[in-house]
Chains A and B, each alone.
Chain A
Amino acid sequence: MDLILIAVISLGAIGLISAVILYAASKKFAVYEDPRIAQVAEVLPQANCGGCGFPGCAGFAGACVKAADSGSLEGLLCPGGGASCMEKIASILGMEAVASEPKIAVVRCNGSCENRPRIAKYDGAQSCAIAHTTSGGETACTFGCLGCGDCVAACKFDAIHMNPETGLPEVDEDKCTACGACVKACPRFIIEIRPKGKNNRRMVVMCVNKDKGAIANKACKVSCIGCGKCVKVCPFEAITLENNLAYIDPAKCKSCRKCEPECPKGAIHAINFPPRKPKAEAPVADAAPKAAPAPKAEAPKAEA
């Protein structure tokens, strides 16, 4: 009987002392964390994609709270959650959400198996990073897509997939959050984060080849050859030509579509625009807001 009593008392005493120490320690070494950080983190997607530029969702939540204390949420955007997520965060923090333009990843290469003749066969490890460092790739274009799918592996939102027919990655517009993981994964900087554009319509030069015209022309049927026709026709000075490559500045482009038919190689794509009328007179000038909320999703990817 004694034995049990001693055990109970001694263990009880140890427990009591430990409890006191733990309590004291928890008070003494307590770290204050703003409860709002946890609240904000709760509404974030928790994909930890890093698209916001902070180390994971917790890091972003901390940054939001800090920004709220200093007065404005400007410049902060969770690309995964989008505008609705930012609104929720703003309401938690008692701020007003700063509207930001929705963006999307665009694969700027149209060198499908059909457009780009294969001149060699790559049989190394299926990784774009490795293929890029060992060789110019299977085609004569040393700037275009290598097709090993590093971008697909990098996407945390299942928003980019290889099309087995073209051998090129395609972005799922509904799923893409413009986090930029694929941009970092691509060793050839083919993917760009661009604004989605009005009514989800945008003009893009689908080529990143910087070779001289003759070489680029030979390497691929739909390459930009740097002829500059689009630059001349653009009424808004939105197109620049550098290193034999045209680039459309999304901030200046008004989606007038004048450059699209001008390109002799069909390298400029008008994405999500309705098909042109048989006799195009090009007075579409400004696909302005008057065209009401147009039906978007079903518009097929325009192929020039």
Chain B
Amino acid sequence: MKTFRIGGVHPAENKLSAGKAIETLALPKQAVFPLSQHIGAPATALVKKGDAVKVGTKIAEAGGFVSAAIFSSVSGKVNKVDAIVDASGYRKPAIFIDVEGDEWEESIDRSTTLVKECNLKPEEIVAKIKDAGVVGMGGACFPTHVKLSPPPGCKAECVIINAVECEPYLTADHQLMLEKADEILVGVSILMKAVNVTKGYIGIENNKPDAIKLMTEKAAQYPNIEIVPLKVQYPQGGEKQLIDAVIRRQVPAPPAIPINVGAVVQNVGTAYAVYEAVQKNKPLFERIVTVTGKSVKNPSNFLTRMGTPMSQLIEAAGGLPEDTGKVIGGGPMMGKALLNIEVPICKGSSGVLIMNDKEAARAAENPCIRCAKCVSVCPMGLEPFLLATLSAKKDWERVEKEDVMSCIECGSCQFTCPSHRYLLDYIRLGKGTVGGIIRARNAKK
């Protein structure tokens, strides 16, 4: 069984909501759309107070090339364009829409028939994806059209679809594959056409045997798409790890990106969004969100309109348990603890995880015992203990020399540390600071 070659951990899978059919969540009373839900420049609002919008109306346009448009997921009136407290407690600009009815834009094809044929040229496909505001659905929210526009001198050789879902607890992608296999495969072939390649891979971890079986059966019609079962190993969903696992190529240290080794990696959710955008004219305004946790009554997978407050999802899954210690946006490894459960679902919200007191408690930090476990699990081959110490000592020059920019912030080091050291906290600080120094240096040139 294939997997990536360096490091990795295997946390308890806890896929509590596996096999739960996707339920459509009720419309919220008010939907909120933060203007910055993706990597890159924030979008600029196109609507103002009092404007009437429909489902699928563009309410904010991309603020640059690396940026994405935002579409309303509800019909109703714009209440205000104001600041909202985001998941980390800071105020960010957002559009508030009061929901009235459920009226869709006419251009959207709402039928469920599968549209296989796509006669568009690659540039037209990329333009359509861009116009639909599609971003990476795995969590990083990198605008998809940017990934599909290789920089000069680079040539894509294959498309790799990330259907790994290596984060414990989350099952959104798994369930999507079980219910929308045909659409995903059309989406993958569109992506392959967009970058003009003839080979596509879908990497699935073998803790989802039903998905592997179904996808393999369906993919028989597509001779160019290969389903690759992978050994369960975190962080296999990382781009570089997935490329290594599937086609045995290693992406060099930054500034190199996957396209430098000929790979274009997209999430399985993105493939589905691309299908809807290109074949059904449906912009990205809803997604599947897993609501889960050991104390949650009904761990579920919801088809959710963006802008719905997380509290509504938690309510639909049986309410906030009494022993809640932390509510996390995303999975337990890379997700962020939320300061506020009224934050809306955004393009990158793959899950809401509710941890109980016991799980959420962070053990006291002890001195480093030099066991080097963090070094052996680091999937990027870094020395986390060293990076953390250097960052704490603010020795930025050495932090940069030790390749902090390669860190993918997967948290394997912190997960495995027997002394419970705050390794990732300090490495993130170092990465942020060194990133700033590098940008300033490049700006001077």
Contact = CB atoms under 8 A, between A and B. Distances in A.
Contacts of A124: 362, 422, 425
A133 B90 contact: no
A129 interface: yes
B89 interface: yes
Given A119-B339, A124-B422, A125-B422, A133 B428 contact: yes
Interface string B408-445: 00000000000000100110110010000000000000
A213 interface: no
Nearest to B86: A136
Interface in A7-58: none
Interface residues of A, number: 17
Nearest to B422: A125
Given A120-B339, A125-B422, A135-B339, A142 B429 contact: no
B297 interface: no
Chain B interface residue bracket vs A: 10 to 19
A129 B428 CA distance: 10
Q: Which label, helix, strand, loop or mixed, suits the secondary structure of the A interface?
A: loop
Contacts of A133: 428-429, 432
A130 interface: yes
Contact of A130 (B89, B337, B428): B428
B90 A130 contact: no
Contact of B425 (A130, A137, A142, A211): A130
Interface in A123-139: 123-125, 127, 129-130, 133-137
Given A119-B339, A120-B339, A123-B362, A134 B425 contact: yes
Nearest to A131: B425
Given A119-B339, A123-B362, A135 B88 contact: yes
Contacts of B392: 127
A31 to B, nearest CB: 27
Contacts of A215: 91
Contacts of B425: 124-125, 127, 130, 134
Nearest to B361: A123
Contacts of B426: 125, 127, 130
A50 B111 CA distance: 69
A130 B429 contact: yes
A136 B89 contact: yes
Contacts of A123: 362
B275 to A, nearest CB: 36
A136 B422 contact: no
Contacts of A211: 91
Kindly name the residue among A134, A137, A215 whose own CB sees the greatest number of chain B CB atoms within 10 A: A134
A215 B89 CA distance: 13
Interface in B81-134: 85, 88-91
Contacts of A142: 89-91
A9 B76 CA distance: 105
A127 B429 contact: yes
Nearest to B432: A133
B425 to A, nearest CB: 4
Kindly name the residue among B85, B428, B429 whose own CB sees the greatest number of chain A CB atoms within 10 A: B429
Contact of B89 (A120, A125, A127, A129): A120
Interface in A85-130: 119-120, 123-125, 127, 129-130
A133 B409 CA distance: 14
A125 B362 CA distance: 11
Contacts of A137: 89
Nearest to B82: A212
Nearest to B429: A130
Contacts of B89: 120, 135-137, 140, 142
B362 A129 contact: no
Contacts of A140: 85, 89
Given A125-B426, A130-B425, A211-B91, A136 B432 contact: no
A250 to B, nearest CB: 30
Contacts of A130: 422, 425-426, 428-429
B56 to A, nearest CB: 33
Interface string B32-44: 0000000000000
A215 B339 CA distance: 16
Contacts of A136: 85, 88-90, 339
A142 B89 CA distance: 7
A177 B436 CA distance: 30
Contacts of A120: 89, 339
A140 B83 CA distance: 14
A295 B260 CA distance: 72
A124 B392 CA distance: 14
A136 B337 CA distance: 12
A43 to B, nearest CB: 30
Interface in A222-266: none
Interface string A122-163: 011101011001111100101000000000000000000000
Interface string B65-93: 00000000000000000000100111100
Kindly name the residue among B91, B336, B432 whose own CB sees the greatest number of chain A CB atoms within 10 A: B91
B362 A134 contact: no
B392 to A, nearest CB: 8
Interface in A170-229: 211, 215
B9 to A, nearest CB: 20
A137 B90 CA distance: 9
Contacts of A134: 88, 336, 425, 428
A192 B432 CA distance: 25
B90 to A, nearest CB: 5
Interface in B373-418: 392
Contacts of B88: 134-136
Nearest to A119: B339
25 contacts: A119-B339, A120-B89, A124-B422, A124-B425, A125-B426, A129-B429, A130-B422, A130-B425, A130-B428, A130-B429, A133-B432, A134-B88, A134-B336, A134-B425, A134-B428, A135-B88, A135-B337, A135-B339, A136-B85, A136-B88, A136-B90, A136-B339, A140-B85, A140-B89, A142-B90
Interface of B: 85, 88-91, 336-337, 339, 362, 365, 392, 422, 425-426, 428-429, 432
Given A123-B362, A136-B339, 19 more contacts: A119-B339, A120-B89, A120-B339, A124-B425, A127-B392, A127-B425, A127-B426, A127-B429, A129-B429, A133-B428, A134-B336, A135-B88, A135-B337, A136-B85, A136-B89, A136-B90, A140-B85, A142-B89, A215-B91
7 cross-chain pairs, A with B, having the tightest CB-CB distances, nearest first: A136-B89, A125-B422, A125-B425, A135-B88, A123-B362, A120-B339, A136-B90
